[in-house]
Structure 1
């Protein structure tokens, strides 16, 4: 990993935090050194600064680094001020109660999907999407719903950040195929996940748009092929759009970061 040109020390430090977070467990310096593109002395200096600032914590007994408690405070502040989650909470509760299915709320993060909230189904199903996780945009319902309504320039930037890895036989694995799908999504106003990210997982998703058409998030009802069908989820599209519109209306007075 490496900081984008011009980001300097701050960008490098954020790279280190990303590496620690991506590991999913406390990591040793040697593990970070193997993954980083920075010289050993540079990486050590960055880690020491992050530790002194409370962004990382060091376990002297295990000689490992983990994300610090200061990040929890910052994350909570970001969730409260820049996330749709606090506004959307009662609407997610209502939709989950009505459908009995899994509800996801997401926002765009550098061309990828950031899941900011979730309601489990009445009979929960294990799946990738969890609040706080980042997932691919090109093969998820919420991701495609947001991509479809980005401005042309923003869409091109987002497309450049897609890996087009083929997760299942249904995954759209090229920009051309995705663009055709996005055109269809714009026409009907909602997107589907046709087992494109995980086998057996399907969803109907809609964008959350301001009155000027700016994308500020997406909402989905997610289920499994063993429990329902795309046709049944499609029949819920109107209700999901209604919920998204209510969230958007309440969010109008908030100032959200521009979506990339």
Structure 2
């Protein structure tokens, strides 16, 4: 019988392979995967075949490429429905988008990174990195900093240790010291800004979504460009954004929003 430790290792390898296939954002060949895989060819091939047989991956016999499978789409839809803020926040984001007319983002933290779970485009759409389903850095995005600022000390330290601090633009806060100072200001102010820290010309104001117990469960942002508006004009939207964030939080609590487990689940007998 397979031991729990062996099973855990197998699952971890399979998830790693899925993440690797997904990272290419296109069909990918075995040799391409091998170039960056931590596993030898035999192990990687076995993982690919297992994931293919379970519907997690598909294989194109003509092009000899692997792609994410339709089973993952079903699982992603279930996760979006059960664990994402998106279904709860949809009507609130719709109203906010109609009122403001700029790009609206809804995000949650995922392993110390930003997961964009929903988006409303501006009346005049702007090309930018963020899309629903994409993962971005927390330390240099408005929604990321808004969420980091309100994490408990222990969780915050773990999240800070996981940031890359890569300098995307001249405005990126590329050290833990500068980011920590910024987070202190965000806590005092109640909301965050993106001052062209992730993409040149892209600015935003971001509001954390906090429960009554002050647990951060997400963030919303209004994003635009330096050619269209200014941070001062975006800051004027803070009261409207706070109202929207509070409404999302209240609705989510009534909806029994999943609480992260703080301790190990008991082992089955």
Structure 1 CA distance, aligned partners of 2:124 and 2:247?
Answer: 26
Q: Partner of 1:138: helix, strand, or coil?
A: coil
Distance 1:100 1:239 in 2: 13
- Residues 107 and 115 of structure 1 are in contact (CA less than 8 Å); yes or no, is this contact kept in structure 2? yes
- Structure 1 residues 105 and 29: CA distance shift in structure 2, 3 A: same
Gaps of 5+ in 2: 1-5, 263-269
List gaps (5 residues or longer) in structure 1: none
**Residues 53-95 of structure 1, C-alpha deviation per residue, up to 9 Å, x if partnerless?**
0000000011100000000000000000000000000111111
Partner of 1:138: 139
Equivalences for residues 26-65 of structure 1 within 5 A:
26-65=27-66
> 1:200 aligned to 2:201?
yes
Q: RMSD of the TM alignment (CA)? A: 1.4
Within the alignment, does 1:256 sit opposite 2:258 as a pair? yes
* Equivalent position SS for 1:252: helix
Q: 1:199 to 1:244 in 2, by over 3 A?
A: same
Q: How many residues align?
A: 256
Normalised by the length of structure 1, the TM-score is 0.96
Q: Which residue in 2 is equivalent to 1:235?
A: 236
Give the distance between the partners of 1:87 and 1:256, measured in 2 at CA: 13
Residue 173 (structure 2) aligns with: 172
Deviation at 1:256, TM superposition (A): 2.2
| More off after superposition, 15-24 vs 248-257 | 248-257
Distance 1:242 1:188 in 2: 15
User: For 1:175 and 1:6, how far apart are their aligned partners in 2?
Assistant: 36
